[in-house]
Amino acid sequence: METTMTTTRIDRGSTDTTTIYSEGGDLVFERTFDAPRERVWQAFMDPAIVPRWWGPHGTTTTVEAMDVRPGGRWRYVSHAADREDVAFYGEYLEIQPIEHFRWTFMFDVEGVGPQGGPETHTFEDLGARTKIRSIGHIGSPEAIEGALATGMIEGAISTWDRLAAVLAES
């Protein structure tokens, strides 16, 4: 028996710079950055660089933990003037330097509890550019709709806009 996977472009989130689509129970974000792969990788792995770009415009981020190794824990706290702090946290599952990493990406939703799951980030070498593919393994189309209702698309695009600005600095 052959199974087919449905790919759905999420038009309400895709922009000229970022493509967003769902594939089965996965939510996929793709973007090409104008920087070599080693530099983009460093921006994700260096706790001194992460706060410069992580989180939407208008927020600041504190890196409370970042033990970059399989089994290592990470925890970022996002601060904004118009809301309570939001903690994002998880565990590194797999790290293949400059090529990809997998981690659990969790956050707490008031009245619901912990939300999230595993994510895979790949870094494709395009010479002086790097394509990142972030795949959130959410589980089902219904769970994806629930995640989208949290505003994650707008937050992710804004975050990656900030990353592009950091990477553009010499």
Order of strands across the sheet with 86-96?
7-9, 18-23, 26-33, 130-137, 113-125, 100-109, 86-96, 73-79, 60-66
Is 41 a member of any domain? Answer: yes
Look at residue 12 and tell me if it is in a domain: no
| 153 domain residue, yes or no | no
Q: Which of 53-57, 104-108, 163-167 has the lowest mean pLDDT?
A: 104-108
| pLDDT tens by residue, 50-104 | 999 999 999 999 999 999 999 999 999 999 999 889 899 999 999 999 999 999 9
Give the rounded distance of the alpha carbon of 134 from its chain centre.
Answer: 6
Domain span at residue 121?
32-141
Residue 164 lies in a domain: no
Domain of 98, CATH number, reads: 3.30.530.20
Q: Domain tally for the chain?
A: 1
